[in-house]
Amino acid sequence: MGAEQQSNLKAARGLLSQEISKGPQGEEVGRDLFGVYDVLSANKQLLRGLTDPGRGAEARAGLAAKVFAGKVCPTAAHVIELMARQHWGHPEELTSTVRELGMDAYVLAEDYEGLPELSQQLVDAYALIAGNRDLRIELSDIGQGDPRERAELAERIFEGHVSPIATKLIKRAAHDVRYGHLVQLLRRMAARASDMNGRMLVVCTTAKPLTKAQATRMASLAERKWGRPVDLAQIVNPDLVGGFRLDSGQEAIDTSIRSDIRLARLALTK
């Protein structure tokens, strides 16, 4: 995500959190923003109209109001009008930002006491799907189902095991995934929930499952490394052979034997 898109997202997040705190339910806002995402994904002409730099900012905001006012809740309408006033390097940046805001709204729908549980549930769901190839394929667009069928399958798998908000977000990931990137989308959702809870998502990959004591030590190591409380997502990958890999999304610690083998092979080719 480029600096301009990040700036636009930050401004919209500020408006979103302010308006949701004033009363509108985050779940309603999230549902409507995801609905806007669906509309923009299917209507490229409208997307171009909302991001056309040749049109004035107010003209773009007026188009957003004409299309969405009265069809989505006031908060969602305000957010879309704000984003229509902003400059976008590429139309698809607006679409992906709307989806990010839909995720945010659902997380904001969870009360403060429930946020840590929601965050951990999304982390665990990410880890489960990332570590299970068959399940990953079934819930992804590289499987056989259409978006609606994938979302329904995700609901059957997770409903009753995680909170209603977590279920809706996992369903949404299965519905929206493109090009088989389900794991990446789930990781973004989990990382955002962790961040909104004042924590940081760190992925720990090992050749064998960690014991509880080992997981605690890994979390402590990650917290010392990155200076923040962490939510640890545990993924088992036998190809590592031994050692571990801690990945924050921007930086990693890799002590795996597979990494050592790769470095040795690289040295031999020089």
d(CA 167, CA 151): 10
Give pLDDT tens digits for 56-90: 999 999 999 999 999 999 999 999 999 999 999 99
Give the burial class of 112: count Cβ atoms within 10 A of its Cβ; 0-12 exposed, 13-18 middle, 19 or more buried: exposed
- How confident is the model at residue 267, as a pLDDT? 40
- For the full predicted model, state whether its pTM sits above 0.75: yes
Give the pLDDT band (50/70/90) at residue 46.
very high
Which residue in 87, 98, 82, 5 sits closest to 43, CA to CA? Answer: 98
Give pLDDT tens digits for 124-156: 999 999 989 999 999 999 888 899 999 999 999
- Pair of tokens at residue 141: 């667009």
- How confident is the model at residue 222, as a pLDDT? 93
- How confident is the model at residue 179, as a pLDDT? 87
3-state SS, residue 131: coil
What integer is the mean pLDDT of 232-257?
85
Residue 103 has pLDDT above 50, yes or no: yes
Give the pLDDT band (50/70/90) at residue 23.
low
φ, ψ (nearest 5 deg) of residue 234:
-100, 125
d(CA 138, CA 128): 13
- How confident is the model at residue 2, as a pLDDT? 85
Percent of the chain with pLDDT over 70: 93
- How confident is the model at residue 24, as a pLDDT? 62
Q: Which of 106-120, 212-226, 227-241 has the weakest average pLDDT?
A: 106-120
